[in-house]
Structure 1
């Protein structure tokens, strides 16, 4: 299987999972700033959802970092 974004033997210039997840989280946080002052209930619901998504991404980043650490310990 050839990976398009992730680092692998076939793709040594790819990124680690935690790097990609951190970039996505950063984009979500920037996007949130654009409608943070929007008083509409829909915007507030989107803000709450994005806060949850950002937290889930943070959790995923921590797991990916732990995986990277484990793999470098083995090698």
Structure 2
């Protein structure tokens, strides 16, 4: 079903927010590497990356909110132990 996220079929997968946090850190690192490059292309890419960082932050917050909601409603996920999904079809 999924290659990256934890699921019944992929118990060693990761939580969405953890993947997004790592991705955001990578984009931020790239931003720091080009932050002193004043060529128009670099400034354009940096501006785009800043927008991407904003979207990633919003996505992280949404993913964390969903995890908190599911934890409150159904308890901790057991998918990493081969358990069933907390919502949706098994």
TM-score bracket for this pair, using the shorter chain length: over 0.9
Q: Quote the residue 2:15 is aligned against.
A: 16
Kindly report the root-mean-square deviation, in angstroms, between the aligned alpha carbons of the 2 structures: 0.8
Secondary structure of 2:22's counterpart equals helix
| TM-score, structure 1 as length reference | 0.93
Which structure carries more helix by proportion?
A: 1
Q: Quote the residue 1:42 is aligned against.
A: 41
| TM-score, structure 2 as length reference | 0.78
- For residues 1-75 of structure 1, the aligned pairs below 5 Å read 2-75=1-74
Q: Which has the higher contact order (CA 8 A, sep 6+)?
A: 2
Who wins on radius of gyration, i.e. which is larger? 2
Q: Which runs of 5+ in 2 are unaligned?
A: 75-90
Q: Following superposition, which runs of at least 4 residues in structure 1 exceed 3 angstroms of deviation?
A: none
